[in-house]
A and B are shown apart, each in its own frame.
Chain A
Amino acid sequence: AQSVSQHNHHVILSEAASLELGCNYSYGGTVNLFWYVQYPGQHLQLLLKYFSGDPLVKGIKGFEAEFIKSKFSFNLRKPSVQWSDTAEYFCAVNRYSGGGADGLTFGKGTHLIIQP
């Protein structure tokens, strides 16, 4: 069974610091990759996604992620975080074949706190 590992469960940063959240997955076939964010009291929202093409993906709110196939990784980055980035971040993967894709497998999440 596929699995997703997020390396940091809790991260505390100051405003303007750079952010990198690690994500590794365990499936060797064709995959789609996602980062979702959950702000306090809100539903899961898509930050960015990778289906194919350029492995450097840009998302909303200045976030980006790089797919490195040889390392089975899809790390999330942001050069300068803001207090409003305080949230729970989830990496997710699904497998894709010609017949479609299965449901998402999520990591355990990273709780990010940005201190003013």
Chain B
Amino acid sequence: EAGVAQSPRYKIIEKRQSVAFWCNPISGHATLYWYQQILGQGPKLLIQFQNNGVVDDSQLPKDRFSAERLKGVDSTLKIQPAKLEDSAVYLCASSLEAGVTEAFFGQGTRLTVV
């Protein structure tokens, strides 16, 4: 079974630039999550999708972060403009059915903002 695919693996940008991350969940998984993991901390939920609808985006900094999941499959997370404190690993995860099955994580995208 193919896992959660993310790209790119690494990205270095200057502050105030924009960046986008892509995620392809496991086939058939209805729920998709984006997490931010800052060095030395556990992952923090940014947004949760159920199919192509947003379930929870309460911790997403909406002034600079946006995410979409068109057609209920792939998802993109965008940051515009980036700040130094956005340096982190951005993790995508998916689950077949939230609350019934576990979440599977991708390798993540390591973002460095300089």
Contacts and interface: CB of A to CB of B under 8 A. Distances in A.
Contacts, number: 60
B91 A108 contact: no
A105 B43 CA distance: 8
Interface residues of B, number: 26
Contacts of B33: 103-104
A17 interface: no
A43 B42 contact: no
Nearest to B103: A104
Given A43-B108, A44-B105, A108-B40, A100 B99 contact: yes
Given A43-B108, A103-B48, A103-B56, A109 B42 contact: yes
A4 interface: yes
Contacts of B98: 94, 100-102
B72 interface: no
Contacts of B102: 34, 46, 49
A96 interface: yes
B91 A44 contact: yes
A107 B55 CA distance: 22
A102 B56 contact: yes
Interface string A87-115: 00010101011001111111111000000
Interface of A: 4, 32, 34, 36, 42-46, 49, 51, 90, 92, 94, 96-97, 100-109
Interface of B: 3, 33, 35, 40-45, 48, 50, 55-56, 91, 93, 97-100, 102-108
13 contacts: A32-B99, A42-B107, A43-B91, A44-B43, A100-B55, A101-B99, A102-B48, A104-B103, A106-B42, A106-B44, A107-B42, A108-B41, A109-B41
